[in-house]
Amino acid sequence: MSILITGGNGALGTELKKTFPDALTPSHQELDITNKKNVKEYITKGDFDLIIHAAALTHIRPCEENKTLAWSTNVEGTKNLVDAVLDKKKNTKFIYISTACVFDGHIGMYKESSIPYPENFYALTKLIGEFEVNRLPEYLIIRTNFVGKKKWPYPRAFVDRFGTYLFAQDVSRGIMDVYKENLSGCVHIVGDKKISMFELAKLTTPEIQPMTIKDYTGPRLTMDMSLDTERWKKYHISE
Ligand SMILES: NC(=O)c1ccc[n+]([C@@H]2O[C@H](COP(=O)([O-])OP(=O)(O)OC[C@H]3O[C@@H](n4cnc5c(N)ncnc54)[C@H](OP(=O)(O)O)[C@@H]3O)[C@@H](O)[C@H]2O)c1
């Protein structure tokens, strides 16, 4: 069984490496997904049975400020992987990590069948990445929302942005679960409780201070990123 994980040094990738210890996890330098030739050679040589595609430009502000890089990484990078799979081994199982941000965030608790409406460029590129993955015969799109289980990287966290958050380690286990169950199509891997970002931050950083969207200036944010699922179970965030 030959497995490739992209984005292996990221927050989720670090946990995926533990869940799939036999996987190949090339660094950004070893496999640059924006380099079509590099991707084609790597996929052709690797002959992978499973690809988990977690590499992306993931922060909202950099995606807005450098749309060219966001597009080439999140859309063309995904297309390069999809094209290489279609050329080499069509029945490779392809797992694409997408985001709750594909939805508008006005009401929350979006299901797999809800209609996406991205609020910012990051979310748009992730949604178009989903369209690319749709061209494959064997794919799984995982929409989720998580953070690494570590100290909150900012002094304050939003009390008025919400999600059914998990830690990256919970999502990684969830991906293994849905993979083993041989699910395909789009699946939401979600926590069993809708909480604010502030409540999430408090779990690892008790001294965190509250903020609201009024304290923020920058690109449009998805306010309620909570997800529901009609296809899979919900997970309890690991405390
Ligand atoms: N974190 C969230 O809140 C969240 C929520 C829902 C979905 N997601 C999705 O989940 C996935 C993983 O997110 P994450 O938070 O773990 O991301 P992350 O910590 O920002 O890591 C992203 C990874 O992608 C790599 N990468 C970037 N450009 C690349 C390129 N051109 N070629 C190869 N690798 C490249 C980065 O490598 P370098 O650092 O070396 O550049 C890094 O290892 C992403 O697809 C993201 O959209 C994230």
- What is residue 50's predicted lDDT score, i.e. its pLDDT? 97
Q: How far is the CA of 66 from the centre of ligand 1 (A)?
A: 16
- What is residue 89's predicted lDDT score, i.e. its pLDDT? 79
Q: How far is the CA of 10 from the centre of ligand 1 (A)?
A: 5
Distance in angstroms between the alpha carbons of the first and the last residue of the chain: 33
Please report the DSSP string for 77-131 in residue order.
HHHHHHHHHHHH-TT-EEEEEEEGGGS--SS--B-TTSPP--SSHHHHHHHHHHH
Pocket flag, ligand 1, residue 225 (CB < 6 Å): no
Q: How far is the CA of 53 from the centre of ligand 1 (A)?
A: 9
Pocket flag, ligand 1, residue 129 (CB < 6 Å): no
- What is residue 90's predicted lDDT score, i.e. its pLDDT? 80
Per-10-residue mean pLDDT for the chain, 239 residues long?
A: 97 98 98 98 95 98 98 98 92 96 98 98 98 96 98 98 98 98 97 98 98 96 98 95
pTM value? 0.98
Nearest residue (CA) to ligand 1, atom 19? 10
- What is residue 239's predicted lDDT score, i.e. its pLDDT? 80
Q: How far is the CA of 12 from the centre of ligand 1 (A)?
A: 8
Whether the CB-CB separation of 209 and 183 falls below 8 Å is answered with no
Which pair of structure tokens corresponds to residue 188?
């939401």
Which pair of structure tokens corresponds to residue 90?
């069509």
Using the atom order of ligand 1, give the atom closest to the CA of residue 35: 31
CATH of domain 3-148+166-190: 3.40.50.720
Whether the CB-CB separation of 197 and 127 falls below 8 Å is answered with no
**Strand pairing of 139-144 and 93-99?**
parallel
* Helices first, then strands: H and E counts in the chain: 8, 11
- What is residue 181's predicted lDDT score, i.e. its pLDDT? 97
Alpha carbon dihedral 140, 221, 195, 115, in 10-degree steps, equals -40
CA distance 139 to 61: 29
